[in-house]
Amino acid sequence: SQQGEEDPQALSIQEGENATMNCSYKTSINNLQWYRQNSGRGLVHLILIRSNEREKHSGRLRVTLDTSKKSSSLLITASRAADTASYFCATVRMNTGFQKLVFGTGTRLLVSP
């Protein structure tokens, strides 16, 4: 079952602009992760934020988490054409000692040169 919903579903920007994607979820979580998927290929892990963290940075990525609103956002600064991909949030509920990822609906990002 899908827990997360992301918006927008699709986002089109120019190179150099910032891209913001939002994710909402329904249940209590252990942590929230963001993944990127290029053109129907495998997913690449971008960043993980724990439930007791509010903000995290990794290079051009900034993730925020608001557990009271059950929402997270991913900001990509100074976007590049190579950032064109689908981005998924994934929430983690502990199940029998390891993690069961539940993916959001995804945002398709198009960055034009």
Partner 1 sequence: DTEVTQTPKHLVMGMTNKKSLKCEQHMGHRAMYWYKQKAKKPPELMFVYSYEKLSINESVPSRFSPECPNSSLLNLHLHALQPEDSALYLCASSQGSLVLGSTDTQYFGPGTRLTVL
| Residue 61 touches partner 1, criterion: CB under 8 A | no
> How many angstroms separate the CA atoms of 100 and 81, rounded?
32
Distance CA 43, CA 113 (A): 24
For the bound state, the minimum distance from the C-beta of residue 78 to partner 1, rounded and expressed in Å, comes to: 25
Q: Give how many residues touch partner 1 by CB under 8 A.
A: 28
**Does the footprint of partner 1 cover residue 30 (CB under 8 A)?**
yes
Q: Helix, strand, or coil here: 104?
A: coil
What are the residues binding partner 1 (CB under 8 A)?
Answer: 2, 30-31, 33, 35, 40-45, 48, 50, 88, 92, 94-106
